[in-house]
Amino acid sequence: MRPLPLWLLSLLLCGLGAAASSPDSSSQLSAPQNPKLHLYNDEQTLTWEPSPSSDDTRPVVYQVEYSYIDGSWYRLLRPNCTDITETKCDLTGGGRLKIFPHSFKVFLRVRAKRENLTSEWVRLEPFQHYENVTVGPPKNISVTPGKGSLIIHFSPPFDVFHGATFQYLVHYWEKSGTRQVEGPFKSNSIVLGNLKPFRVYCLQTEAQLILKNKNIQPHGLLSNVSCHETTADASTRLQQVTLIPLGIFTLLLVLTGACFILFLKYQSRVKYWFQAPPNIPEQIKEYLKDPDQFILEALDKDSSPKEDSWDSVSIISSPEKERDDVLHTP
């Protein structure tokens, strides 16, 4: 084998050196960091942290691709996910047709790009919406107080398809009482019965996602606390109509008996308290009206002559005189 000419060897060495000094385009840009997928009800949002800053002032954009089980990658041709400067990609579709069917397993990856330079792809763990979603509380909750009950109406947290459904739990408690749980219920109209009338009950509702041929998903989020007062049924109202007058009559009877016993015990004092005040004689009243008039004259003037006057007094005989006459008779 003939040795290579010197000029050819030098050319090859220069080419290798140039290739070594020119890094691959995929490693010229730093990759995005900490990608996260947010799944809440119908929402699907991919977020990440930007690539580390460099001296290059040219703008950096990001690209998102997805794949199913077959392993082929497809670019998300959406305005908010293709060559974007934001570090967020909204994957939520509108209407009944979603970008990713909720029952499919989806793979995602994201990379940074600056003109003709790109970073390495950063891949996320595969997800299936129904398997990984956080279920929020039921929506449009309304509560109507009933006769010893609460009637609850609501709508599901989001629409489900492909063999998925919801079941519901109601957490309730009397104010300052112990929390209780009723359910699960399949309907979104629930009657919470056997409650005490005229009592205030607080409640929260919860939705659980059930997948076909699979276990129930973890508990969903609870709704806000709302408190409501129950009403009375017909029998309770009848009892109130009967018991209230009876209670008033009994109370009056007890008070009357107590007053009678006190009267007997303190009879003398009661008579003293209720006796009529002393009256001033009429003569004194006249004198007080005219102090210049002599009191004795006023008294004589008002006295009746029939009571203290006699025409004459005569003594016919006395027992002593008759006795003396008998003794001196010869």
Q: pLDDT digit string (tens) for 227-256? A: 999 987 655 555 555 667 777 878 888 888
The Cα–Cα gap between 170 and 152 comes to 9
Residue that is written with structure tokens 């299936």 in the block: 128
Residue 114 shares a structural domain with residue 83: yes
pLDDT at 42 over 80: yes
Residue (of 124, 129, 71) closest to 103 by Cα position: 129
Domain membership flag for residue 19: no
In a domain, 287, yes or no: no
% of the chain with per-residue pLDDT over 70: 66
Q: What is the mean pLDDT of the chain?
A: 77
Q: Are 183 and 207 in contact (CB under 8 A)?
A: no
Listing DSSP states for 148-195 in one string gives TEEEEEEE-SS---TT-EEEEEEEEEETTS--EEEEEESSSEEEE-SP
Contact status, residue 38 vs residue 128, Cβ threshold 8 Å:
no
With respect to residue 13, please indicate whether it lies within any of the assigned structural domains.
no
Question: Does any domain span residue 300?
Answer: no
CA distances from 330 to 55, 318, 325 (A): 183, 21, 10
For residue 290, tell me if it sits in a domain.
Answer: no
| pTM of the predicted protein model | 0.60
- In a shared domain, residues 181 and 257: no
3-state secondary structure of 127: strand
Domain coverage including residue 44: 26-131
Question: Domain ends where: 131, 150, 168?
Answer: 131
Task: Report which secondary-structure segment, H or E, holds 18.
Answer: helix 6-21
Residues 35, 107 within the same domain: yes
- Which of 172, 202, 232 terminates a domain? The answer is 232
Domain finish residue from 176, 200, 232: 232
